[in-house]
Copies of this chain bind each other. A is one copy, B any other.
Amino acid sequence: MFKCKLRSQLNEQLRALDSRIDTQCALVAELQDWFRRRAELHQDYSIKLEKLSKSLLARHKEQKVKREQWNLFSVYNCWQILVNQTKKDARDHGAMADVYLNNIIPRFTQVQEDVQRIYKKCRDIGYESHEELLKVLHELHTTMRTYHMYQAEFKSAESKLQNLEAQKAKLEQNNPKEKLEKRKKFKVIEKEIEKRKNKFRDAKLKALKARNEYILSMDSANAAIHKYFVEDLSDIIDCMDFGFHSSIAKALMTHISGQECFKRTLQNGIDDLNKSINNMDSRHDKQRFLEYNNAAFMLPKKFDFQGHKGDEKNQVIVTHPIQEGNGETLRSFSFKVNQFKNRI
């Protein structure tokens, strides 16, 4: 009966372990599915970013003539950095999708295969252990039954001997000693007692041996069951999990290093744009514009005195009548100069 109970418990263990491996594989499959679907999104995003970058650069090339003066502006560099960033983002997301599909997902497939292969072996070992246990249990039942049987026989032999010895005692009680030895009945009883004593000794020995066997079997069974439940089961599960976490960890670390890569690109983009913003220089822009349009903004030649037919007096001559006459002109000249100076 105990054997049935143990067998049932051992089968329950196998079912639990089967269920465990199914759960493990389902979990890995779900992880794999996340990576697969996430890779699709990375890929889709990458394609769209690439398309945007190409479209902007194509339009820029197409409008090269119209946009001839863009490089006179420091802001232009900021735009260039943003467009380049788009290209880098496209590349990063494409690379991430690739790593997911061609590195991480196959790792998970391998994990599932490994886990299932290892489990098959562990399960076989477990099953063998169960058979061993049940064998030991069977032996215990056998030795126990044998012991009970031989002990019963011993008790029976003991009882029979005791009966005969009682009969002899009764005879000795009723008759004097010298008569007895000549009586036939007394001789028969003594022969019977001798026979019984032998049987009794044999039965006792058998019973003793049987008990010993039973006790040894019992200790053996207890030790085997203890070892299986306390050590072997634990070892089997450790075996099932062998390398599982480290393989999963490796796959996830690959994902993490991809994320670190994203982080670096992000940081570089931030640094480049910060630098570009700091380099925006209005004075420099103005300078480049004036140089580009040099002809329009070039200071014309000064006016020279155009004397009339050899008249070389090119200085203002001030005498008394002139002072009065040009006074107004001088005042209006000073006014004009000040006006220009103070304007805007």
Q: List 19 A-B contacts (CB under 8 A).
A: A13-B293, A13-B297, A16-B297, A19-B69, A20-B289, A23-B72, A28-B75, A31-B79, A34-B56, A34-B79, A34-B82, A37-B56, A41-B49, A44-B45, A155-B309, A225-B299, A225-B300, A239-B344, A263-B266
Given A12-B296, A16-B296, list of 4 further CB < 8 A pairs?
A: A38-B86, A208-B322, A211-B311, A260-B270
CA distance A134 to B208 in the complex (A): 142
Q: How far is the CB of A258 from chain B (nearest CB, A)?
A: 10
Cβ-defined contact, A136 with B227, below 8 A: no
Partner of A344, one of B232, B244, B259, B340: B232
Does A180 sit at the interface, judged by CB under 8 A?
Answer: no
Q: How far is the CB of A137 from chain B (nearest CB, A)?
A: 9
Cβ-defined contact, A52 with B45, below 8 A: no
Report, as a range, how many residues of chain A touch the other chain: 35 or more
Does A125 sit at the interface, judged by CB under 8 A?
Answer: yes
Cβ-defined contact, B37 with A41, below 8 A: no
Cβ-defined contact, B49 with A212, below 8 A: no
Cβ-defined contact, B273 with A256, below 8 A: yes
Does A97 sit at the interface, judged by CB under 8 A?
Answer: no
Cβ-defined contact, A27 with B286, below 8 A: no
Does A106 sit at the interface, judged by CB under 8 A?
Answer: no
Which residues of chain B are near A211, meaning CB under 8 Å?
311, 313, 317
